[in-house]
Structure formats: C-alpha cells, structure tokens
C-alpha cells in the first residue's frame, strides 16, 4: 500500500517536473494591427521575456482579469523593455474584429492575437497537453530567453516568474549594429552581416534585422553559439552599378587626384579605391566609367560593391547588457 501511494504521488508530480524542463515551441503570429511576431527571432533571441495570457473574448474570468492584466503590462514597460506581453485567444470564432472590440472595450494595449492571426499556432500544443494539463482561461505562461517555459503561472506569481526568466536573460549579451552610411540607403539583400570565429570559417551565422529594422543578435544562444575570438563581418552581394555611382563621383575623385580637393572624411578614400590596390589613381576612374556605361558588371580584383570599415569587428559578451557595434558602410565608386 505504501509503495502504491508513493507511486501515485510520483505520477502526480511527474508532469510538473517535465513541464518545468520543457522548451517552448517557436511560433509566428500576426496581431490585430497586422504586425508579425516571431517568438524566437524577434524576442527570445534578443534576450526578451515573453508573457502569454490565454483568453477568449466572452470569458467572464478573463474580463474580470483584464484591468489587472493591463496594469501588469504597463508595470513591465508596455512592451518597450525586455518583457513582451501577448493576449492569445483560445476560441476559434474570435476573429480580428472580436479581439479588437475586446481590446477597445477593456482598454487592452498589449499584442492581441486572434484566430485570423494564427492563435492556434500558440494554443494547440498547450490544449493538446504537450506542456502538461490544460488549465483553460485565463491562464498564463512565461517564456525565458533560453526558451524554457514556465506554465501554468498563477497571476499573483507573474512578477516572480518574470524576474526568474530575466535571470536567464542576464546570462547573455544583446549586440546592436550601428551603421554609419552617410545618407546611403542600402537596398535589402545588398549586404549581409555574419558572426563567426576570427580564424575559422564556421560556425558562421547571419545576423538578421529585428522587428525595428536594425541588425541585432543575442550571444551566446542556440542560434549564436559560443565561438573562439568571435567577430562580425560584412559581405557584399550588391551589383557594382547602382544609381549612387554617377559622373559626379568621377569628378570628385579627379579633383582629389589633381590635389584640388581632398576626399573627406577618410572613408571616401576606401569607396574611391575601385580596383583594390589601396591607391587612388586614374585606374579607379576608368573602372567607374566602365561600370556606369555598362561595360563592366563588377569591379576588378574581387573588389566588393560595398565595403565595411573596419572589415571585421570583434565582440565580447557583457552579460545582461546591450552593446553597440559600429561599422561604416560605403558603396564602392560613390564618394558624394
């Protein structure tokens, strides 16, 4: 009998142990305002904690909780800091119109996800028991940057759960790339940034733009594993000719060669070197002319269409902090 009781107790406790060790699945949803959110790429990989409220629009306890949920959202920075809140419906008939009406009626300003916004991508694994028993609505989940899931969390324990999840965030560093381009607009796909070991070809991980349109990544994470002497490098994929390369660039470089007007700032000298010989000569002018006239589709000697200064930038973790990494990016042939 004693062993049977122990076995029963163990059986009851086991789902809680497993749940505490589970990794939250990734999802992509669209909020009621049409903004797309990717759990891993936009939030967890950037060191943010994600808090989810499961609700539906006619749920009386959800309505009663609404002002307290809103207050909690404001308390944690209204989504501007390292904690993001989502209200995700569990009801198939809760379309954008119904969720928006709920938000307006009960002053909900966090991200609302309806059935049309792919709410099922979030809720189905929970309702299917993948994370232990389904606790209905309202219930709450807290996801740490290391993707560990805390579910269910009692509303009164949310602050403690968020603080604990932020403890995971303090073990990583967020790096934001700050680009100086001298009013140069770089079309998407013309350049890419990568994190890699300084003296090795791999691992080599592309740094993607975040939801704010800037290059950002969190290190170390699953996506960006620990590396020996890590650096950030830029690679050029754009064509030699763009509308930024014009006859006025040829004139400016001619003046520099003749000593009539120097190219300043110094990064313009890097842009003017079109053949990669680290000199500014008539040969560089010739290459620009060929590109403008369509006689050449690339610069000689493997000279890239875009260059970064410096060519590589080392980065070192400062756990719990956001660290800027600066590059100047120039278009080869464009000095104006």
Instruction: Tell me the C-alpha to C-alpha distance, in Å, between residue 13 and each of 16, 133, 143, 153, 215.
Output: 6, 12, 21, 16, 43
Give 154-197 pLDDT, tens digit per residue: 999 999 899 889 886 667 789 999 999 988 999 999 999 999 99
**For residue 16, pLDDT beyond 70:** no
**DSSP β-bridge partners for residue 150:** 142
**For residue 6, pLDDT beyond 70:** no
The more confidently predicted of residues 124 and 213 is: 124
Q: How far apart are the C-alpha atoms of 122 and 323, rounded to whole Å? A: 31
Instruction: Band the pLDDT of 15: cuts 50, 70, 90.
Output: very low
pLDDT recorded at residue 9 = 37
**For residue 61, pLDDT beyond 90:** yes
The more confidently predicted of residues 260 and 169 is: 260
**DSSP β-bridge partners for residue 179:** 327
DSSP 1-14: -HHHHHHHHHHHHH
The more confidently predicted of residues 240 and 18 is: 240
Contact at 8 Å (CB) between 89 and 113?
yes
Give 271-303 pLDDT, tens digit per residue: 999 999 999 999 999 999 999 999 999 999 999
pLDDT recorded at residue 169 = 66
Give 196-206 pLDDT, tens digit per residue: 999 999 999 99
Residues of the chain with pLDDT > 70, as a percent, come to 93
Short-list 123, 127, 118, 128, CA closest to 95: 118
Q: How far apart are the C-alpha atoms of 192 and 97, rounded to whole Å? A: 39
Cis peptide before 310 (omega within 30 of 0): yes
Average pLDDT, the chain: 91
**For residue 90, pLDDT beyond 80:** yes
Short-list 204, 250, 207, 197, CA closest to 227: 197
pLDDT recorded at residue 163 = 87
Report the C-alpha dihedral over residues 317, 318, 324, 327, rounded to 10 degrees: -30
Sort strands 322-331 and 173-180 into parallel, antiparallel or unpaired: parallel
Letter string b/e over residues 299-327, b meaning 16 or more CB atoms within 10 A of that residue's CB = beeebbbbbbbeeebebebeeeeeeebeb
What is the set of domains in the chain, with CATH numbers? 2-169 (3.40.30.10), 172-336 (no CATH)
């Amino acid at each position: 009998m004693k062993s049977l009781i122990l076995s029963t107790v163990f059986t009851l406790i086991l789902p809680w142990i497993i749940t505490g060790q589970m990794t939250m699945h990734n999802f992509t949803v669209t909020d009621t305002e049409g903004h797309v959110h990717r759990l891993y790429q936009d939030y967890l990989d950037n060191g943010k904690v994600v808090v989810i409220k499961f609700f539906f629009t006619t749920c009386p306890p959800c309505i009663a909780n609404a002002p307290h949920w809103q207050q909690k959202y404001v308390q944690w920075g209204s989504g501007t800091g390292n904690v993001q809140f989502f209200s995700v419906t569990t009801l198939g008939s809760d379309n954008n119109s119904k969720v928006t009406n709920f938000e307006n009626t009960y002053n909900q300003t966090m991200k609302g996800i309806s059935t049309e916004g792919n709410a099922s991508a979030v809720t189905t694994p929970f309702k299917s028991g993948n994370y232990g028993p389904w606790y209905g609505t309202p219930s709450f989940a807290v996801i740490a940057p290391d993707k560990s899931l805390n579910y269910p969390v009692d509303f009164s324990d949310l602050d403690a759960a968020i603080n604990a999840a932020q403890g995971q965030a303090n073990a990583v560093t967020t790096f934001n790339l700050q680009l100086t381009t001298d009013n140069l607009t770089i079309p998407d796909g013309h350049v890419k940034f990568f994190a890699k070991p300084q003296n090795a070809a791999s691992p080599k991980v592309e740094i993607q733009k975040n939801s704010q349109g800037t290059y950002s990544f969190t290190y170390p994470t699953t996506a960006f594993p620990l590396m020996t002497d890590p650096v950030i490098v830029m690679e050029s994929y754009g064509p030699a000719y763009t509308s930024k390369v014009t006859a006025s660039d040829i004139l400016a470089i001619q003046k520099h060669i003749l000593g009539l007007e120097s190219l300043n700032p110094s990064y313009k000298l890097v842009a003017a070197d079109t053949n990669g010989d680290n000199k500014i000569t008539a040969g560089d002018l010739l290459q620009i002319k060929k590109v403008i006239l369509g006689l050449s589709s690339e610069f000689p000697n493997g000279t890239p269409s875009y260059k970064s200064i410096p060519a590589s930038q080392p980065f070192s973790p400062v756990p719990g902090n956001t660290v800027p990494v600066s590059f100047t990016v120039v278009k080869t042939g464009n000095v104006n």
